[in-house]
Copies of this chain bind each other. A is one copy, B any other.
C-alpha cells in the first residue's frame, strides 16, 4: 500500500509538505504543490483516513438510526439529511434498529468508540434517562419522534394540530362516527395524534367513544384487522382516521374486500404522506410532513452541535399540511 511516506520520498519533500498539500494548508510554493499533486496522481495515492481520524479525533461520519428502511416514510427525510451532510463534508451511515433496544445500543457503540461524530435518532427506543446520558457526552438530535423531557434537541411537526385538522376534515364532510386506528406504544406522536382526534370530536360536539379506537402496530395487516374489527362491531361508523398511511391502506383494503366503497361508504385518512399514498387505489387523503426539510434541519442541528462541541439544545417545529385525495372525497 502506498503511504504518505512513499509520496514524500518520490516527490523529494517531507511528509509534512504532503500533508499540507492534501489539506490545502498554506505554506507550500505553487511549484512544490504541483509536483506533489502529480506524484500523488502518478502513484495513485489515497490517504488512509484512519491515520487522520485518529490524529484529529473525528471521522466526519454521522449515524442515522431508524426502525427500518422498509418504511417509505423515512426515505425523503434521509435524503434531506444526506444532502446537508454532503454539503458539509460529512458521510451518513444508515442503521436499522428493528425497533430493538439492543440493536440500537449496539450501533451506539460506533459513537462511543469514536467511529461516528454524532447521531440522529428517528425513533429512540431507549428511555429518557439513557438518552439524556448519551446527549450529555455526544452530539445527538431526535428527528420526528422524540422523548418527552429528554434534554436532547429535536425536530418534528405538531402532531396534535395535524391530527386535529385531519379529523376536522372528516367531520366537515358530515361524518359523525369516526373510528381511530392507533398504536399501543409510548411514542409521543401517538399520544398527540390521539389527543388531536379527541379534541376535534369534542370541539364539534361529538361524544368520544373509547370503543372507536383500535390498535395496530404500523403494519398493513394490523390496519386491515383493526378496520375489520371496527366496522364489524360498529355498523354506524362512516370514517376512519389511521395514524399511519400503511395502516390506512390496510383499512382501505379491508373495506374493499368487505364490499364497502371508499370514499362513498367509508372515508379514510392516513398520516405521513408516504410515496405510496397518491399511488393507492383510491389515492389516500393524509397529513403531509415536510420530510425533506425535517431531514435537513435535523442534520443542520447536528452539525452545529458537533462543531460547537455540544451546547445548543434546540427544538424546532415545522409545518404540516393536509392533503385531500380520493379516499375521502370523490
Q: Would B59 and A69 count as touching, CB distance under 8 A? A: no
Interface string of A281-295 (1 = CB under 8 A from B): 100000000000000
Q: Assess whether A101 is interfacial by the CB under 8 Å rule.
A: no
CB-CB under 8 A from A113, the residues of chain B are 46-50
Q: Would B96 and A79 count as touching, CB distance under 8 A? A: yes
A256 to B281, CA, bound (A): 8
Q: Assess whether A82 is interfacial by the CB under 8 Å rule.
A: yes
A161 to B68, CA, bound (A): 32
A281 to B273, CA, bound (A): 18
Interface string of A245-286 (1 = CB under 8 A from B): 010011011001000000000000000000110111100000
Determine, out of A86-94, A120-128, A147-155, A179-187, the stretch whose residues face the partner at the interface: A86-94
Q: Would A249 and B95 count as touching, CB distance under 8 A? A: no
CB-CB under 8 A from A112, the residues of chain B are 46
The verdict on A252 contacting B281 (CB below 8 Å), with A78-B69, A91-B110, A94-B93 known, is: yes
**A-B contact list, 23 entries, CB within 8 Å:** A46-B112, A46-B113, A48-B54, A50-B53, A50-B113, A51-B54, A69-B75, A69-B78, A69-B94, A70-B72, A70-B75, A70-B79, A72-B72, A82-B96, A91-B95, A91-B107, A92-B95, A93-B93, A94-B94, A220-B275, A249-B279, A276-B276, A280-B280
